[in-house]
Chains A and B, each alone.
Chain A
Amino acid sequence: MREKLTYGLALGAAAMFTYTLYRILLMLPDELMQGAIYRIMFFHIPAGIIGMIGFFVSMTMSVWYLSSKDLKFDSLAASVVEVAVLFACINIVTGSIWARIIWGVWWTWDYRLTSQLVCVLIFFGYLALRRAIDEPTQRARLSAALNIFGCVDVVIVWKSIEWFRNNHPGPVLSIRTGGGQMDPRMDHTVYLNLIPLLLTGIALVLVRTRQEATAREIDSLRRLAHAAA
């Protein structure tokens, strides 16, 4: 059942990608100010959105785990964090490439990119913590607690870096570099491309959760073997 769902999602994502890529590469014209490179935003923006959503979904999973003590939610939380970090990294890398082309530098300390980077670091800490704990229940409890701290911090990080940038102005990465309105077709395409990316993300989460469940099974078999020995 789950495998069918995973394959279904992957196929759906692939199908939508064909359409959106067609739109992005062939249908839409080059942007006035930025040339061809602006198309990277069709991945940059949705990836950023998915990353952020992912972090908060994982916090919900962690809270659910703490109240229900069902390890299934812990696996979900961890898998969602992994996928969210992946998308956040895609957001950062595409942003960096974009900055290089538009501004000539690899990193502009744009407040959104910087905040995203800090969030990635916070959740790297989460993943590092998980790797450092062998016992599954302890790992679940402690990483759930860290997840909550992390997500609360994410909100404060975004706000504080934004305020910092207000004091120390610098280049801002935006598709609206020319100012003014964005062509509605471009707007739509950004959100359109969100869908296949999201589907891919969910498929990845399902795969990872399955792996986590298997790992837990192996761990408990090992304990059983030791107890019988």
Chain B
Amino acid sequence: MGTDAIAVRQLWKYYGDYPALREITLDIAQGSCCALLGRNGAGKTTLLRILAGLSPYQQGEVNLFGQSPRGRGARRTAGFLGHGIGVYEDLTATENLAFFARVHGLSDVSATVARWLKRVGLERVAKMPVRQFSRGMRQRLALARAFQHAPQVLLLDEPFTSLDDKAIAMLSELLTEARLRGATIVLSTHQLREALAIASDVALIENGKLRYSGERTPEMLSDPTLLYRLHTELGAD
């Protein structure tokens, strides 16, 4: 509670008897931008999906603004961008955005959709089915889908991966804007430099355990692998 947008307490997630996440306790303050770091399979995606309400967990407590991630209130304020773009191939760009706008309960649907199509540079192909879009166009539509309902909590799973330059620039812009309006951002990534540049906090996960969490210091910016060297152990814990 208080100024924490996201509070995780003693979180355990199992696949069968195998703990994918162990005793994770993490606080992410409102308005901050937390970079979730860790190797492949460390548990970053699992944690993000739990925060987005996409995955159940067995033990512990997870709260977004004091609510369970599966709760309606939490899902209303959150925006999730996973590996997939999350838009329908057979619908047009306009129809896709309109659908998600309605799902999120936005009031002026057509105006919002038009505005966002312009924002991501897709206004000229608004009536084209996504099936015919180029890769870059799809990525930009995905960004529009995730950001159009002005989420207060943004959960992004490796957002910089497979984005072209135009889309990366757009994403950075959108993230900066989001932070300016006080949104909380959690993003997982391998790309240390980009992430550390915009992050205010970092959290390092290895083998399901939280190895380090705290402010992103200038030293980390100049030496991105510092964290890994200081806090991870070679091999299993």
Asked if chains A and B are in direct contact (CB within 8 A), the reply is yes
- Residues in A lying within 8 Å of B, measured CB to CB: 69, 71, 135-137, 141, 216-217, 219-220, 223-224, 226-228
Q: Decide if A69 touches B58 in the complex (CB within 8 Å).
A: yes
Q: Decide if A135 touches B41 in the complex (CB within 8 Å).
A: no
- Residues in B lying within 8 Å of A, measured CB to CB: 14-18, 41, 56, 58, 207, 235-236
Q: Decide if A220 touches B17 in the complex (CB within 8 Å).
A: yes
B17's contact among A69, A136, A228, by CB below 8 Å, is which? A136
Q: Decide if B236 touches A227 in the complex (CB within 8 Å).
A: yes
In the assembly, what is the distance between CA of A102 and CA of B14, in Å?
55
Q: Decide if B18 touches A224 in the complex (CB within 8 Å).
A: yes
Number of A-B contacts (CB under 8 A): 35
Q: How far is the CB of A95 from chain B (nearest CB, A)?
A: 39
Chain B residues, Cβ within 8 Å of A227: 41, 207, 236
Please name 23 pairs of A and B residues whose Cβ atoms are closer than 8 Å in the assembled complex, sorted by A.
A135-B15, A135-B16, A136-B15, A136-B17, A137-B15, A137-B16, A137-B56, A137-B58, A219-B17, A219-B18, A220-B15, A220-B16, A220-B17, A223-B15, A223-B16, A223-B18, A224-B18, A224-B236, A226-B41, A227-B207, A227-B236, A228-B235, A228-B236
Binding site of B, secondary structure by majority: helix, strand, loop or mixed? loop
Chain A residues, Cβ within 8 Å of B56: 137, 141
Chain B residues, Cβ within 8 Å of A135: 15-16
Q: Decide if B235 touches A217 in the complex (CB within 8 Å).
A: no
Q: Decide if A219 touches B207 in the complex (CB within 8 Å).
A: no
Chain A residues, Cβ within 8 Å of B207: 227
A220, A224, A227: most-surrounded residue (chain B CB, <10 A) = A227
Chain B residues, Cβ within 8 Å of A220: 15-18
Q: Which residue of B lies closest to A69 (CB)?
A: B58
Q: Which residue of B lies closest to A221 (CB)?
A: B18
Q: Decide if B235 touches A136 in the complex (CB within 8 Å).
A: no
Q: Decide if A137 touches B14 in the complex (CB within 8 Å).
A: yes
Q: Decide if A136 touches B16 in the complex (CB within 8 Å).
A: yes
Chain B residues, Cβ within 8 Å of A228: 235-236
Q: Which residue of A lies closest to B58 (CB)?
A: A69
Chain B residues, Cβ within 8 Å of A69: 58
Chain A residues, Cβ within 8 Å of B14: 137
In the assembly, what is the distance between CA of A69 and CA of B41, in Å?
24
Q: Which residue of A lies closest to B13 (CB)?
A: A137
In the assembly, what is the distance between CA of A11 and CA of B99, in Å?
65
Chain A residues, Cβ within 8 Å of B41: 226-227
Chain A residues, Cβ within 8 Å of B236: 224, 227-228
Q: How far is the CB of B83 from chain A (nearest CB, A)?
A: 18
In the assembly, what is the distance between CA of A217 and CA of B16, in Å?
8
Q: Which residue of B lies closest to A138 (CB)?
A: B15
Q: Decide if B235 touches A216 in the complex (CB within 8 Å).
A: no
Given contacts A135-B16, A137-B58, 15 further A-B contacts (CB under 8 A): A71-B17, A136-B15, A136-B16, A137-B15, A137-B16, A141-B56, A217-B17, A219-B17, A220-B16, A220-B18, A223-B15, A223-B16, A224-B236, A226-B41, A227-B41
Q: Which residue of A lies closest to B39 (CB)?
A: A227
Q: How far is the CB of B70 from chain A (nearest CB, A)?
A: 14
In the assembly, what is the distance between CA of A136 and CA of B58, in Å?
13
